[in-house]
């Protein structure tokens, strides 16, 4: 039982959030003082990108980028949905002086942290905010994702990745981002993207009690786990995804690397991984 759980009954409800935030802040600072957290690992109070070990997950995706995405040290890299640097940090000791990294995300707090802690140490790692609306992550965003254009020139990147970005978007928004990926990716480049993909197998498996999600609600051309907060987690039909890729002059390198989210036993990762190239 944590200290927060112990003291909770003795703290007025109006003050519980303040006390919790103070405790987490103190715990974060203590970890830093004791050397349990390095300068490139954000405090837990600022991590908004999901559960799990921050460093271990970053290192695992670095391995997947290299092994399956064929990422090279000299590549120009674009991280769409960079969060608070979980994928950027492990790449700082992989990309060389000829390589570069651009990170973009809709959550300003994450961008501010990365600019303060990563860029001064690694000047070829740059970050910027995309002020795009999302009901869960950026409800005050100025731009709609279905009309957003990435702030980069044509044919700039060798390698683009999106980890758990398309899992928060309906097809109309995914289609726009795929068009932009096609525009900014070099000929011969590759995009590594994760999805929750619905096909005959995953639809059957996701009804199992062992499945993490059951995307049974159809909303805006996608399928969601919760209608109360559809942008927090959504899936796309595989035939719809393949059609969007084709219409944007893109193709998936088969086989798709299906994940374990739906109780599948032999996935290499939790989400489904699609490797994308230009036609």
Averaged over successive runs of 10 residues, the pLDDT of the chain (279 residues) comes to 47 58 62 65 68 86 98 98 96 97 96 96 98 88 95 98 95 97 97 98 97 95 92 95 98 97 95 96
Beta-sheet strands, E only, within the chain: 76-80, 100-105, 125-129, 157-162, 185-195, 197-198, 217-219, 222-224, 234-237, 250-252, 272-278
pLDDT of residue 6: 44
* Per-residue tokens: 53: 């070990």
| 206-105-171 Cα angle (round to 5) | 45
Domain 54-278: give its CATH superfamily. Vaccinia Virus protein VP39 (3.40.50.150)
Tell the residue number behind the tokens 């390198």, with chain if given: 253
Residue with tokens 């905010």: 129
pLDDT of 29 reads 64
Q: Are 123 and 100 in contact (CB under 8 A)?
A: no
Check residue 28 and give its pLDDT: 61
| Predicted model pTM | 0.86
pLDDT at 61: 97
């Amino acid at each position: 039982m944590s200290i927060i759980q112990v003291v909770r009954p003795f703290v007025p409800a109006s003050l519980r959030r303040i006390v919790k935030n103070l405790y987490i802040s103190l715990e974060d600072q203590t970890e830093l003082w004791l050397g349990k957290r390095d300068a490139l690992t954000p405090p837990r109070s600022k991590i908004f990108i999901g559960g799990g070990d921050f460093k271990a997950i970053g290192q695992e995706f670095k391995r997947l980028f290299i092994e399956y995405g064929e990422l090279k040290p000299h590549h120009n890299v674009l991280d769409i949905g960079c969060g608070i640097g979980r994928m950027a940090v492990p790449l700082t000791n992989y990309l060389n002086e000829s390589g570069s990294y651009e990170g973009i995300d809709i959550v300003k707090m994450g961008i501010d942290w990365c600019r303060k802690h990563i860029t001064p140490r690694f000047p070829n790692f740059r970050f910027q905010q995309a002020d795009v609306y999302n009901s869960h992550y950026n409800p005050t965003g100025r731009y709609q994702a279905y009309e957003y254009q990435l702030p980069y020139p044509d044919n700039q990147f060798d390698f683009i990745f999106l980890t758990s970005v398309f899992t928060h978007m309906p097809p109309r928004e995914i289609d726009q981002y795929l068009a932009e990926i096609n525009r900014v990716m070099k000929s011969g480049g590759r995009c590594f993207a994760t999805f929750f993909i619905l096909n005959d197998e995953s639809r059957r498996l996701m009804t199992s009690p062992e499945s993490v999600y059951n995307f049974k609600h159809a909303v805006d051309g996608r399928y969601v786990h919760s209608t109360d907060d559809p942008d927090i987690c959504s899936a796309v039909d595989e035939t719809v995804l393949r059609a969007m890729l084709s219409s944007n002059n893109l193709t998936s390198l088969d086989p798709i690397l299906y994940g374990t989210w739906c109780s599948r036993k032999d996935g290499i990762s939790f989400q489904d991984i699609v490797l994308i190239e230009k036609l």
